[in-house]
Amino acid sequence: MCDTFIALSDATLDGSIIFGKNSDRPYSEIQNITYYPHKEYKESEVQCTYIKIPQVENTNAVLLSQPLWMFGAEMGVNEHGVVIGNEAVWTREPLGPPTLLGMDILRLALERSRNAEQALKESIRLLEEYGQGGPCAENDSSLDYHNSYLIADQSEAWVLETAGKWWVAERVKSSTRNISNSLSIRTQFDLAADGLVDYALEKGLYQSSIDFDFAKSFGLHWREPSSFSREGIGQIMMQKEAGGITPLTMMHVLRSCESGICMHGGFRSTASMVSQLFSSKPDIHWMTGTPYPCKSLYKPIAFPPGNLEAYQPATRNQNQKSIWWAHEMISDTKKIEFPSWKEYQEDLFLKMKEVDVGQYQDITKQAFTTEQEKYSTLLNNNH
Ligand SMILES: [Zn+2]
């Protein structure tokens, strides 16, 4: 389960493009913020989660929100300002044997593209060549799904939806768009797999007397989106703010627990990310690195994120020096009143607006350090 959002320049307050995603994953899965610098390769292959594929000569620097056990990532961005989030979708096409995961495709596309269109094309190429499949959770082979993607850069955004090796893509033309675990591209799309409509007709997924509808034809138990679903509520929340959307607005939507967008339960919002993409200055990525956006601080990170040494990724062993574990220890303990980050979040947002680009790394470091110190204090007071 996940929710992914995009606000194009006509929907934001300052003309930037703003992306947001909550990654909803199995409760016990750890998701870290990871950074892989630009790299040149001598190796001929890259080991993905389940298969090896040919490696490219160079990969872009990428900043990811990455489940601990997986090659791929739930969301991420590269040094050229290409951002991608994926969604699980269930379709009438059979689930294939282990090959690339949707999350692998997401990371590979970020490593290999300089803009959203290239990332879209690379995702499609990988899908057509290798297909998609394999368990999407570490110890649960029943969690298996196809994928949809929201891909954006500083000038445009695309929704790519897939069913097995079949796909369609829609260029987001204006305002806002969101995807939420369901095929959403209907009769209007800009690109499609060769032979898609013939295949659907042959399989009896639709009748030629009506317009070809991708979601209706390929979606498993597909229904018209309801205004009470996460998809519907997300769309309404975004549209209400269209024209004035800032990263704080996006965080507000992602922190909405009543709608289920901020998910609590056996599947929970394990990590969250908001990216603000600019054409004239470095992009700023706001990442939680902790579960429950409603209880989390989004820390600003820009490329190159040198001072990420203030952040300690979680390992499988509980260790309160990592914000993941410290946050877990606090948010699971009812005795402690969880800190409200509202004021500090706004403060960080203003700081990032005011300071020179050269000071970004200092603010990143301050934000991670402040969070860690706050958790340490809370944990020590509890003993
Ligand atoms: Zn919540």
Any domain includes 313: no
- Quick one: 288 and 328 in the same domain? no
Measured in Å, residue 25 CA sits from the centre of ligand 1 at 14
Q: Are residues 287 and 363 in the same domain?
A: no
Domain co-membership, 256 together with 351: no
Residues 37 and 96 in one domain: yes
What is the value of pTM for the model shown?
Answer: 0.97
| 196/334 same-domain check | no
- Tell me, in angstroms, the distance from the centre of ligand 1 to residue 263's CA: 6
127 & 169 share domain: yes
Neighbour count for residue 253 (Cβ, 10 Å):
27
CA 28–ligand 1 middle distance (angstroms): 16
Its domain, for residue 366, covers: 320-383
* Domain-embedded: residue 62: yes
In a domain, 315, yes or no: no
- Residue 183 located in a structural domain: yes
136 is catalytic: no
Q: Does residue 324 share a domain with residue 291?
A: no
CA of 249 relative to ligand 1 center, distance in Å: 15
**Which residue among 2, 48, 136, 262 is the active-site one?**
2
- Residue 64, domain member (yes or no): yes
Q: Report the distance separating Cα 151 and Cα 159, nearest Å.
A: 6
Residue 250: CA atoms inside 13 Å, Cβ hemisphere, count? 32
| Distant-in-sequence, close-in-space partners of 157: CB < 8 Å, separation ≥ 6 | 6, 8, 17, 19, 116, 150, 151, 171, 172, 177
Q: Are residues 222 and 324 in the same domain?
A: no
Cis peptide before 304 (omega within 30 of 0): yes
Cα of 268 from ligand 1 centre, angstroms? 9
Q: How many domains does the chain have?
A: 2
Render the burial of 327-366: b for 16+ CB within 10 Å, e for the rest.
Answer: bbbbbeeeeeeeeebeeebeebbebbeeeeeeebbebbbb
| pLDDT at 306 (0 to 100) | 79
Measuring CA to CA, how many Å separate 265 from each of 25, 43, 65, 180, 288? 10, 42, 20, 17, 18
| Any domain includes 305 | no
C-alpha 355 – ligand 1 centre gap (Å): 31
Residue 222 located in a structural domain:
yes
3-state class of 240 per DSSP? helix
User: Is residue 307 situated within a structural domain?
Assistant: no
Examine the domain organization and report whether 47 and 171 are in the same domain: yes
Sorted by sequence, the CB contacts under 8 Å of residue 353 that are 6+ apart come out as none
For ligand 1, the distance from its centroid to the CA atom of residue 114, given in whole angstroms, is 34
3-state secondary structure of 283: coil
Task: Say whether both 165 and 131 belong to one domain.
Answer: yes
Can you give the pLDDT of all 383 residues of the chain as single tens digits? Answer: 899 999 999 999 999 999 999 999 999 999 999 999 999 999 899 999 999 999 999 999 999 999 999 999 999 999 999 999 999 999 999 998 999 999 999 999 999 999 999 999 999 999 999 999 999 999 888 899 999 999 999 999 999 999 999 999 999 999 999 999 999 999 999 999 999 999 999 999 998 878 999 999 999 999 988 999 999 999 999 999 999 999 999 999 999 999 999 999 999 999 999 999 999 999 999 999 999 999 999 999 999 997 688 999 999 999 999 999 999 999 877 667 778 899 999 999 999 999 999 999 999 999 999 999 999 998 888 65
Domain shared by 97 and 190, yes or no: yes
pLDDT at position 383: 59
